[in-house]
Amino acid sequence: MQSGKYIAISALAFSLMPTLAFGDNLKTMIMTAITEGKSTGYLNDDLVKGFASQTKSNEPVQINMERIQKYSDKCAELAIMTSQPGVPQKDGKMGVANLMFKLPICLDGSYPESLASMDTERKKAAMDKCHQTTRKGRVKNGFMEGSIDFNNCPQNGVVGIFYDGTCIDLGPGPAAIVKEFKIDEKGSLSIKMAIPKSCISAKVNKWQLYIFERRALMMPKELAGVRPVFW
């Protein structure tokens, strides 16, 4: 699907969601996702017409909702995924239009109060629980073996790491990102390191760790916090 059309569909989806003044089936799905954690169903015919104006498809639109953050018994942030088949593609074939977005909402259709501050506090609490330790090993073939070990971190999140020190043998700067490492379902991770011996005595031997969380399947990762590590 062309990007312009995708953006238009995104705008359409957001215009449908901020109020509960729409079909009873969608209202029920949102209320169920807020209170029970998940829901699934299809848009009613009137709302499908709105999608059809952008997708050029009259096929049913399936909706899957998952609660990714509970603010109270009445308010939550939902991950919403829509899927509609029979959408014309640039190559002339028919495809499926998939759309994913997040929706903070309460049972009465209002926006959760103090959402930004609540989310900041939640991320701070998650980072306070996330601990990392550094372990130095033996020096072999001009490199010091070591590891950075994580515990109680955002489950199924990722850690991005880059060297931010003064040793030229490691190519300092954000462009020197090693890779991203996946945190497991227990919130643990061990990153094995091989640091040039010449960098151990560098004036500044510093690494930056970007810790991300992923709160729902297929949803984009979000930055939870940044940690410096010194060897």
Task: For residue range 7-37, list pLDDT tens digits in order.
Answer: 333 344 444 444 334 456 788 899 999 999 9
Count of domains for the chain: 2
Backbone phi, psi, residue 161, to 5°:
-130, 135
For residue 47, pLDDT over 80 is answered with: no
Same domain, 11 and 102: yes
For residue 183, the model assigns a pLDDT of 92
Q: Alpha helices, DSSP H only, in the chain?
A: 3-16, 24-36, 45-55, 115-129, 197-200
The residue count for the chain: 231
pTM for this entry? 0.54
Same domain, 127 and 226: yes
Same domain, 135 and 207: yes
Same domain, 52 and 144: no
For residue 222, the model assigns a pLDDT of 80
* Domain-terminating residue out of 65, 93, 113: 113
Same domain, 221 and 147: yes
* Domain-terminating residue out of 67, 82, 113: 113
Backbone phi, psi, residue 203, to 5°:
-60, -45
For residue 2, pLDDT over 70 is answered with: no
Q: What is the pLDDT of residues 49-84, one digit of tens each?
A: 777 777 888 888 899 999 988 888 888 889 888 888
Domain that holds residue 40: 3-113
List the beta strands (DSSP E) in the chain. Answer: 38-42, 62-70, 75-88, 94-106, 131-140, 143-151, 158-163, 180-182, 189-196, 206-213, 222-230
Higher pLDDT, 39 or 203: 39
Residue 223 and residue 107: Cα distance in Å, rounded? 28
Residue 13 and residue 26: Cα distance in Å, rounded? 12
Token pair recorded at residue 42: 């299809």
Token pair recorded at residue 73: 């018994």
Same domain, 224 and 145: yes
